Amino acid sequence: MKDLNELIKEIYSYKRYGIRLGLDRIEYIVKKLGNPQNNFRVIHVGGTNGKGSVCRFIESVLRKAGYKVGLYTSPHLLDFRERFLVNGEMINKDELHRVLKKILSIAEHMNDKPTFFEISTACAFEYFSERGVDFGIVEVGLGGRYDATNVVSPEITVITNVERDHTDILGNDIRKIALEKAGIIKRGVPLITGCDERTLDILKAEARRKGAEIIGIGKWNRIARYSGWQVFEIEGLLSNYILKTRMMGRFQGFNLSLSVMAIDKLQMMGTYIPDSSLEKGIEDAFYPGRMHVVSSDPFILLDGAHNLSAIRSLKESIIEDFDYKKLIAVIGMLRDKEYRRMIEEIGSISDIVIVTKPDNERACDPEELYRYIDGEKRITKKVPDALDMAVDTADKEDMICVTGSLYTVSEAMRHILN
């Protein structure tokens, strides 16, 4: 019998089938499993940026309200098991072994082989069903309409925003990208969105066609910031809230607003969530690898900003929220991103830029990134070497920021922990 490491190696072997959007394969697998995704209430969260933070805010609030909550997000930072959480705890090794074995036994008999993400998604649904969760918070992988997660029948749908990302698959036209993301809107299911005027009309048209109520975000304002915390005033559907979070960056106000709207709408639909659970849930929510300070001496910030919009939010946060003498940026990106504009954005506030390459088949050659940096710059092929270079360069008052991809952040975090 294969052990867990062998099974994980086997699921990774399905990466050779690449990213192939479509629902036929995932529908076949979940049908074989008895449609486990229908055995719990789902909050389905899509969009370009912020969906991971929104998932974590909503999960934490529901857990504090006494519900048993599954959380499915991707990618993971250090351990494949991070993708499958129930009440904040990773799936244990025995459970993962059993669930993976069950799903891989279906996959191996399929003529049209499923992708890595489709198998992973089926694992989440089966595990959450087995654990008897009340809610599953499910993050879209890529796009929406043909994403493997789009076999769920949610209670609420969230589309955070629409920006350019994964342009090799979704294209460059932001309105066409919006149409793909709008594919997760379901008949009669409320939609919460923070989309702006560039794409909102597309979501409105799809919501109208499906008889889905559409709810925009309310007003929000950051009213305080102090060491490791920030406080926001958030307008909800039921009340205005003063909420404290340790997830940093002014942009978290936008993600909080989406989360509060979803929680308030759930309450209006009959789910009991006391205000104390909302406040404590937001306070406790945390997202490793996003605006994540992992060391104070030297000062190291990890942020998985992986597209132009996210890099701009990171840049704004660094300028507003951090004091330092020199900024040393360690950057590794994927080649299907707007990497030239991204590196120009972060380079414009950096004193030294060190470009590197995450261990990923889609990684951008650091030589290519190096071309677009003005000012002091260095290059090394491996993320741990880039981080060591930054640490050796930094003085006590300097700040190191590792960014450009969650894969880069993952390798940096692993190196720091080791």
**pLDDT tens, position by position, 195-227:** 999 999 999 999 999 999 999 999 999 999 988
Q: How confident is the model at residue 143 (pLDDT cuts 50, 70, 90)?
A: confident
Reported as a single tens digit per residue, the pLDDT across 6-51 is 999 999 999 888 778 789 999 999 999 999 999 999 999 999 999 9
Q: What is the mean pLDDT of the chain?
A: 95
Q: Which domains does the chain have, with CATH numbers?
A: 4-284 (3.40.1190.10), 292-417 (3.90.190.20)
What is residue 367's predicted lDDT score, i.e. its pLDDT?
Answer: 94
Beta-strand relationship, 376-379 and 352-355:
parallel
Mean pLDDT of the region 65-71? 98
pLDDT of residue 2: 86
Closest C-alpha to 248, from 266, 225, 269, 264: 225
Q: Is 1 helix (H, G, I), strand (E, B) or coil?
A: coil
Whether residue 165 has pLDDT greater than 80: no
- Interatomic CA distance for residues 15 and 219, integer angstroms: 42
Beta carbons of 318 and 291 less than 8 angstroms apart: no
Q: What is the pLDDT of residues 271-305, one digit of tens each?
A: 999 999 999 999 999 999 999 999 999 999 999 99
Beta strand 135-139 pairing with 89-90: unpaired
Residue 414 banded pLDDT, cuts 50, 70, 90: very high
Cβ-Cβ contacts under 8 Å for 293 (sequence gap 6 or more): 228, 248, 299, 300, 301
Q: Which of 134-138, 165-169, 185-189, 258-262 has the lowest mean pLDDT?
A: 165-169
Contact (CB, 8 A) for 144 and 182: yes
| Statement: residue 349 has pLDDT above 70 | yes
Between CA 230 and CA 245 the distance in angstroms is 6
